[in-house]
Amino acid sequence: MASDLADVATDLPITASERVFTGRIWNVARESVDLGEAGEVTREFVQHTGAVAILALDEADRVVLVNQYRHPVRRMLWELPAGLLDVPGEALVEAARRELAEEADLVAADWHTLGDFYTTPGGSDEFIRIFLARGLSAVPEAERHEREDEELGMQVRRAPLDEVVAGVLAGRIHNPSTGFGVLAAAAARDLDWSTLRAADAPF
């Protein structure tokens, strides 16, 4: 049955663990794990705080996108508003509210969980939750976040959901949160949004 097709958390014995690099945002760990019959293997991976992304959809079925430079790939990427889970104890949906306000100057009245994914499960423990945010309104001018660093002058635009889906499928849009988010939103819309989960659903 389709309902039986699910990833399962598995705690295998870790026989050795050390941090081999400490960075400003994430670290690198080296761990040895006992796979049973397959023996023991050693893997290095990025330890990440996790993140949230927001597919903000307006009343005209347009997606809010931001354009941001990503140095490792040397590209300006069209992305969903997003950010790290770098505030201790902050709920995922509250982090999403904060990021939507900071990056797109928007608040939303209606929040749901759209989807969850691991960005690079072979090399990182980073996970991202994507929220669907609707009922959008602007943050008052006097209360807007002052952007700096790579966010300074960041372009914000709205594009029809179907146009963004077409861009993903044609290979013009490469950010994984954008791709996952718009494809999930288009599928959920086709099912009259019946697949949406609560904003505070467990990951």
Q: C-alpha distances in angstroms, 181 versus 23, 86, 114, 129?
A: 28, 22, 7, 10
In this prediction the pTM is: 0.92
Range(s) of the chain covered by CATH 3.90.79.10 = 51-197
pLDDT in tens, the chain (203 residues): 567 889 999 999 999 999 999 999 899 999 999 999 999 999 999 999 999 999 999 999 999 999 999 999 999 999 999 999 999 999 999 999 999 999 999 999 999 999 999 999 999 999 999 999 999 999 988 777 776 666 667 899 999 999 999 999 999 999 999 999 999 999 999 999 999 999 999 98
Would you say how long the chain is, in residues?
203
Residue 132: φ, ψ to 5°: -100, 125
Considering the segment(s) 51-197 as one domain, its CATH architecture is: Alpha-Beta Complex (3.90)
Catalytic residue (one of 99, 143, 151, 163): 151
Half-sphere exposure of 102 (CA within 13 A, CB side): 16
The answer to whether 151 is a known catalytic residue is yes
